[in-house]
Structure 1
Amino acid sequence: MRRRESARERERARRADEEEHVADRPRIGIFGAGKVGTALARLLLDAGYEVALTGSPRQTALDLLVAVVAPGARVATADDLVAGADVIVVAVPFGKAPSVPWDAFDGRIVVDATNYWPPVDGHIAEIDDDPRTTSEVHAGWNPAARLVKSLNHLGYHDMEDDALPAGSPLRRALAVVGDDAEARAVVAAIIDDIGFDPVDGGALVNGCALEPGHPAFGRELSATELEGLLEAERVVAA
């Protein structure tokens, strides 16, 4: 007769499964310890991800800040964050994006969560005169990085409020665009884990639909609705 597992053995097996699942997940490094970066860190930590954060050199007592607003996240230098991360999220103000070490991102999946918003950033002539999307501009700073545009078209205050379990009829959708299909798939899985329905929007050029002033920015949309807006934007762009 087969011996029945004890409650302790079942609990041990459950924990081992959880640890194995977490170990399979990519390690996340976030540039930006502001409201977006820390809200995202909390969601990732709740979903079982290992998270490192780095902030501005002007941020004092960063260890204390992160311990309070994102307990469980690790504070790292920029170099250590890059060395230890499988996926890097750039969540700094748009005007600070050039200060991020893009040249160190070779081969890394990089999520560009920044937004160029003239009411906040002022007009930047180089961006206004460039026909590319802002993420295409950033991708040009290091073509060896596997850049994906996502997590930019919802507010930091919506991240935790709108996150819902998979299958919820009210689950909000987030788009993933980028020229590397495998990188898009990795980011899509992360988005699903933190409580949103991922929508594959194809090539990086399609990220224009996610920028301020465009149809998907700031709107609570289902996956079907978001897919429709992305398709309409592609048609218009063509």
Structure 2
Amino acid sequence: MKIGFIGSGNIGQAVAANAIRAGYSVVMSNSRGPQTLAGLVRKLGPKAEAATAEQAAQKGDLIVVTVPLYALPELNTAGTAGKTLIDTMNYYPGRDGRIEALDKGTTTTSELTAAHFPDAHVVKAFNSIFASEIETTGKSGDDRHRRALPIAGDDPEARQQVAELLNAIGFDTVDAGPLHEGFRFENGTPAYCAHADRTQLTELLKQAKE
């Protein structure tokens, strides 16, 4: 399977590196053009290539959108229809500006992403772990105390696809359910960046207040 990355920052690089070790291939992109990713591609190895964001979406069987939230409105939606799209974004008003619907709690970051990519199957994941810990806290599937990460999405098959990726790179999954439930692990909640196994994380998700 090939994963297309729209954004190649810390989270994108960490997920890509782990995915390659798990047998996936990756297509990396950023806002500055594929020529600026030559060093990263060399570092990631032969299963990585650089492309434009549109090409990464078109080539990817699975897509990871990992850019600052303020950049979301500018993203091209070409190549995303019918595909599972992982949203890693968080809302930081000091960086992203105030977004009234998020401040009022009438929507979530990933629901904004789904509105921008209406034909993709959006799953919220990787927003509640530090980039450095993606590569350092994953464990093999036979470890009884693996760290769990939460996901949310409206399409059950898409959530299962993301859970399979998480398992492949060393994490258990707690499925929070529909996309709106992603509020339970946005920044500022008890579950955000928690080092927890599946049982512990399930309890932390319950503590979030909408």
Q: Give the secondary structure class of the aligned counterpart of 2:23.
A: coil
- Residue 26 of structure 2 corresponds to 51
1:3 aligned partner? none
- Compute the TM-score of the two structures, normalised by the length of structure 1: 0.81
Equivalent of 1:39 in 14, 17, 21:
14
Q: 2:141 aligns with which of 149, 166, 173?
A: 166
Distance across 2 between alignment mates of 1:91 and 1:37: 6
TM-score normalised to structure 2 length: 0.91
Aligned equivalent of 1:206: 181
Alpha-carbon deviations, 1:93-113, whole Å to 9, x = none? Answer: 121222222354211100000
The corresponding residue for 1:11 is none
Who is 2:73 aligned against? 98
Structure scoring higher RCO (CA < 8 A, sep ≥ 6) equals: 2
Aligned-residue offset at 1:137: 1.4
Unaligned runs of 5+ in 2: none
For the 8 Å contact 1:108–1:145, the answer to whether it is kept is yes
In structure 2, the residue corresponding to 1:61 is in which secondary structure? helix
Q: CA 1:59–1:130 in 2, change beyond 3 Å: closer, same or farther? A: farther
Which residues of 2 match residues 171-210 of structure 1 at below 5 A? Answer: 171-210=146-185
Number of paired residues? 209
1:22 corresponds in structure 2 to none
Q: Distance in 2 between matches of 1:205 and 1:164?
A: 29
Aligned-partner Cα distance in 2 for 1:209–1:32: 24
Q: Corresponding residue for 2:42? A: 67
Point out the structure with max Rg over C-alpha.
Answer: 1
Contact 1:206 1:230 in 2 (8 A): no
Q: Does the 8 A contact of 2:123 with 2:154 survive in 1? A: yes
Q: Is the 8 A contact 1:103 1:141 kept in 2?
A: no
1:80 is displaced (CA, Å) by 1.9
Q: Which amino acid aligns with 1:110?
A: L
2:109 & 2:22 partners in 1: Cα distance? 29
In the alignment, the residues of structure 1 paired with residue 104 and residue 166 of structure 2 have an alpha-carbon distance, to the nearest angstrom, of: 32
**Are 2:67 and 2:89, in contact at CA under 8 Å, matched by a contact in 1?**
yes
**Code of the aligned partner of 1:34:** G
Which AA in structure 2 matches 1:71? G
What pairs up with 1:91-130 in 2 under 5 angstroms? 91-102=66-77, 104-125=79-100, 127-129=102-104
Amino-acid identity (%)? 36
SS across alignment from 2:204: helix
Gaps of 5+ in 1: 1-25
Single out whichever of 32-41 and 222-231 deviates more from structure 2: 222-231
1:137-181 CA-partner distances (Å, limit 9, x unpaired): 111123221010011100101111101111323311011110100
Q: Deviations over 1:187-215 (max 9, x none)?
A: 00000000100111111111001111112
CA contact (8 A) 1:210 1:217 kept: yes
Q: 1: distance between equivalents of 2:117 and 2:99?
A: 21
**Alignment partners' CA distance in 2, 1:219 and 1:120:** 23
* CA distance, structure 2, for counterparts of residue 129 and residue 59 of structure 1: 38
The amino acid that maps onto 1:181 is P
1:62-100 CA distance string (max 9 Å, x none): 2123313x2231111222212211110001112122222
